[in-house]
Amino acid sequence: HVSLVLFTSDLRLHDHPPLRAALASADAVVPLFVRDRAVEAAGFATPNRTAFLADCLADLDAGLRERGGRLVVRSGDVAEEVCRVAAEADAREVHLADGYGRYAARREERLRAALEAEGRRLVVHDAVTVAVPPGEVTPAASDHFAVFTPYHRKWERVPLRPAVGAPRRVRVPDAVGGEDLSGRGAGADASPGLPAGGERAARARLTAYWRGGLAAYGDTHDDLAADATSRFSAHLHFGTLSPVELVHRARRHGGPGAEAFVRQLAWRDFHRQVLAARPAAARADYRTKHDRWRTGRAAAADVDAWREGRTGYPVVDAAMRQLRHEGWMHNRARLLTASFLAKTLYVDWRVGAAHFLRWLVDGDLANNQLNWQWVAGTGTDSRPNRVLNPVTQGKKYDPDGAYVRRWVPELSGLAGPAAHEPWKLPARDRAALGYPDRIVDLAEGLDRFRRARGKQP
C-alpha cells in the first residue's frame, strides 16, 4: 500500500522518523509539502523565509530524486490538500512530525478529523522538530516549566531516541502530480546577504562547524565580531537539521564548547514547552503584564530609527543593519537591541518582535516572542528590571569595535573601541562622520523605565 508523508518544519532526509516509518510499512510513499494558505495569510511567508524555503524544497526534491523519488508540492488549505492527495494515491496513512503552538495543534486536529472521516489514519511522530517534546518533563505542580535552570536539569537526563539515517530508496507513485519547483528563487525584497537553505547547505555547515567552531563555542559565542556561533538557527527552524541528531553528535564530541552548545538547544526546547502550554504567550504578556509602553509620534520616530539602524548608538545600529542585510543577527546583538527598544525606549516588545519576524530567516514564534518577553521583563526572565546599557555592552562584546565598523560604514575610520563612542570626538570630526546623534539619553531612558515599572501595581 501507499503512505503519505506530510513535510512541514522538517525539510530533510537524515534523521526523519516519519519518512522512515512510512517506508518501513508501505510499498510506496508520497512526500508532500503544502504551501499553506493560512501561513501566508498570517504574514509568516516573508520574503526572507520564502526565499530560504524555496531552497529547502528544491534541495529536498533533489535529494528524493537521487533516491528514485521526488517531492510533491501543492498549495491551498493544508487539510484539504492532504485529503486530496491521499485520495489520489489511495494512501492509508499520513505521517506527520510534531509541531507546537496554536497553529500546529489546530492543523493536527483538522487533519486527523478530515482523514478519519475518509477511513485514513494520521500518525504523528514526536521528537522530530525538538529534542525533548513539550510535556515530557514537567515540574510537580504545573504542565510546563517557567524557569529554565530546573527545566534544563531534567531535560539533560531524558533519554533521546536514536538518530536514524537517510533512506537509500524512495518509491513515489507516478499518478500523483505537483507544482513545478523551478523558477522560485529569492524575490527582490529578500535580504542581499541571505544564506542558502536546504539540507545539503545545512550539513556542509554542520561538518565545517564541528571541525572549526564547536570546541571553542563556550568562549566565543558572545563575541560579536568573531561571529563564532553555529548559525544553525534557520536550519533548525525549517528542519533541515535535526535537534536530536545535533544533541547526540555534540555529546559524542564532548568538551565545554559542545556542552554550552547543547544548553542552547535546551533553550530552544524550553521556549517550545512554554508556547505549547500557553499558546497565548505568542502575543499576551506571559507572566507580568505591562501596559504603560510609550506610544504616539515621538515613540514612532524612535521605532523608525531603531528599525533602520540610526539610533546613534553604534552597536545597536550595527546589529539592526546586520538584521536587514543578512536576515540574521547574533544572539548578543538580539539581546541588546531588544533591551534598547523595550527598556531604553520603552516601546511595547510586540512592536520589536514583529520587526524581527519580518526580517529573521530563523523567525520563529516560540523563540522570537518568548525571547522578546524574556528581555522585556514580561516573560520567564528572573531579572525583569535589568536594563542592558548599549555602550557597556558594545565595549564588552565588541571590545575592538570591529563589529561596529563592519556594519556601520560611517564609523569605519574610528580605530578600536572609539567606534562605540563617536560623540567623544571633537565637534568638527564628529560632524564629518555623517552619523546620527543619539536619539535618547541613557540616563533619561533609565529614569523613565524605573518610573513606569515602579508605578506598576
Please select the residue that binds ligand FAD; options are 346, 356, 359, 449, rule is CB under 6 A: 356
Segment interacting with ligand FAD (CB under 6 A) among 4-12, 155-163, 185-193, 224-232: 224-232
Please select the residue that binds ligand FAD; options are 151, 267, 313, 340, rule is CB under 6 A: 267
Interaction of residue 323 with ligand FAD, rule CB under 6 A: no
Interaction of residue 240 with ligand FAD, rule CB under 6 A: no
Interaction of residue 285 with ligand FAD, rule CB under 6 A: no
Interaction of residue 331 with ligand FAD, rule CB under 6 A: yes
Question: Which residue's CB is nearer to ligand FAD, number 196 or number 418?
Answer: 196
CA angle, residues 97, 101, 104, in degrees to nearest 5: 45
Say how many residues touch ligand FAD, by CB under 6 A: 28
Please select the residue that binds ligand FAD; options are 138, 264, 288, 412, rule is CB under 6 A: 264
- Cα–Cα distance for residue pair 243/364, rounded to 1 Å: 15
CB burial of residue 273 (10 Å; 0-12, 13-18, 19+)? buried
In the complex, the smallest distance separating the C-beta of residue 322 from ligand FAD, rounded to whole angstroms, is 11
Please select the residue that binds ligand FAD; options are 10, 59, 317, 362, rule is CB under 6 A: 362
Segment interacting with ligand FAD (CB under 6 A) among 125-133, 147-155, 225-233, 287-295: 225-233
Interaction of residue 334 with ligand FAD, rule CB under 6 A: yes
142 is in an annotated binding site: no
Question: Which residue's CB is nearer to ligand FAD, number 93 or number 381?
Answer: 381
Interaction of residue 231 with ligand FAD, rule CB under 6 A: yes
Segment interacting with ligand FAD (CB under 6 A) among 1-9, 179-187, 332-340, 380-388: 332-340
Mutual orientation of helices 365-376 and 331-339 as an angle, nearest 10°? Answer: 50
In the complex, the smallest distance separating the C-beta of residue 161 from ligand FAD, rounded to whole angstroms, is 19
CA angle, residues 139, 142, 384, in degrees to nearest 5: 85
362 is in an annotated binding site: yes
Question: Which residue's CB is nearer to ligand FAD, number 7 or number 356?
Answer: 356
The 8 Å CB, 24+ separation contacts for 434-437 are: 434/410, 435/312, 435/314, 435/408, 435/410, 435/411, 436/305, 436/310, 436/311, 436/312, 437/312
Interaction of residue 237 with ligand FAD, rule CB under 6 A: yes
Interaction of residue 376 with ligand FAD, rule CB under 6 A: no
Question: Which residue's CB is nearer to ligand FAD, number 3 or number 337?
Answer: 337
Please report, to the nearest 10 degrees, the dihedral formed by the alpha carbons of residues 243, 247, 250, 254 taken in order. Answer: 170
Residues that constitute the known binding site for FAD = 217, 229-233, 261, 362-364
Residues that constitute the known binding site = 217, 229-233, 261, 362-364
Residues in touch with ligand FAD (CB under 6 A): 221, 229-233, 236-237, 264-265, 267-268, 271, 330-331, 334-335, 338, 356, 360, 362-364, 367-368, 371-372, 375
